[in-house]
C-alpha cells in the first residue's frame, strides 16, 4: 500500500467514526439504524476522497510523475504482412 492509500484509509476511519457517533446522538429513534448509516457512510467516503484530493493534490501529482522518466515513441509499423 502506498502512503496516500494509508492516509485516505485513516482519514476515512476517523470521519466515519464521527459520522456514526453523530447519527447515534440524533434525538430520533430509527426503526433500522443501518438504513441511515449506510448512506451516511457512503457520503462520508465521497467527501473524504474529495477532501484528500483537495488537501494533498500536489503530493499525489508529485508521486505519480517520475523525474527523469522519458517517453519512448514507437515507430509506426509498416503496413503489410512480413515487412
Q: Give the separation between CA 32 and CA 30, rounded to whole angstroms.
A: 5
Backbone Cα Rg of the chain: 23
Q: Residue 39 pLDDT more than 80?
A: yes
Q: Residue 59 pLDDT more than 80?
A: no
pTM of the model: 0.59
Give the angle 15-52-2 at the CA atoms, nearest 5°: 100
Q: Are 21 and 80 in contact (CB under 8 A)?
A: no
Q: Give the separation between CA 70 and CA 60, rounded to whole angstroms.
A: 20
Res 5: pLDDT: 83
Amino acid at each position: 500500500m502506498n502512503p496516500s492509500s494509508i492516509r485516505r484509509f485513516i482519514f476515512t476511519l476517523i470521519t466515519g467514526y464521527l459520522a456514526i457517533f453523530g447519527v447515534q446522538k440524533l434525538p430520533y429513534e430509527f426503526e433500522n439504524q443501518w438504513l441511515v448509516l449506510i448512506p451516511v457512510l457512503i457520503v462520508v467516503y465521497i467527501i473524504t476522497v474529495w477532501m484528500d484530493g483537495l488537501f494533498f493534490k500536489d503530493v499525489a501529482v508529485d508521486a505519480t510523475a517520475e523525474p527523469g522518466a522519458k517517453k519512448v515513441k514507437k515507430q509506426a509499423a509498416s503496413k503489410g504482412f512480413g515487412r
